[in-house]
Amino acid sequence: MKDKKEVLLEISGIKKEYKEKGLFNKNTKRVLNGVSFTLEKGKCLGIIGESGSGKSTLGRIITGIEKPTKGTVKFYGKDIHSKENRSICQNMSIVFQNYTDSVNPGFTVADIIAEPLIVGNGMKKRQIVDELKELIEAVGLTEEFLGRYPHQLSGGQLQRVCIARSIANKPEFLMLDEAVSSLDVSTQVEVLNLLKKLKDEYDLSYIFVTHDLLTITYICDSIIFFKDGMIEEKIDDINDMGKIEKDYSKRLLNAVIEF
């Protein structure tokens, strides 16, 4: 087993620019402006910021969905955006906020969870059936759910299915992009408890991107306050939340915690 203090992810100088819309418009808009931090194996880092701060764009870059304009994302020291290292992204997975748009409505739950098993592993049918039973039970649902369709599930159940799919390939790292924000409060707590359990059972490391500070304090070990594409402040120990210094961080904190 690897040392828990081993650096799993190293994000260095990430910048991201997009061309602004318009046929003759040559201007660019910078969304990320030199973001750097590390994530230790086995830890959960929370990234909190207001809408439009660039945190979701950062999440897509960290998981290899998008490329940075400048900077590197290294997984165990290897740049995931280098052509020769693209297979590294199989060790990463992402759970999105909008669970409805994340699945094919014509697929059964079994089809949804099996996608990465078929594409990534080339497993035989019998192996897939056994794996599906294990995965559906791992997220707190019963085997009978495998034959259901998305419209037959509640929001919390469907997000559990998305989580089952995300761990199907046994990744080491999970990006959670507003993964519980569309759920009601009681269901949020249930899913967060599930994520805590899976973190230990599957030896996972998390980055939790959200605008909800309460979510972060419930599950994360450390926290980054994100503003205008940059790190405004970083707290290495979630127990030190009372020591934050920046006005922006205090404003987000004051929204849920009374000093």
In this model, does residue 246 exceed pLDDT 70? yes
Task: Report the alpha-carbon distance of residue 34 to residue 71 in Å, rounded.
Answer: 8
The mean predicted confidence, pLDDT, of the chain is: 90
In this model, does residue 89 exceed pLDDT 90? no
Go through the chain and tell me how many residues it has.
259
Number of other residues whose CB lies within 10 A of the CB of residue 135: 23
Predicted TM-score of the model (pTM): 0.89
Of the two residues 7 and 181, the one the predictor is more confident about is 7
- Say if residues 64 and 33 touch (Cβ distance below 8 Å): no
Q: Please give the average per-residue pLDDT across 40-44, as a whole number.
A: 96
What sign results for the dihedral spanned by CA atoms 210, 212, 218, 220? positive
Number of other residues whose CB lies within 10 A of the CB of residue 174: 24
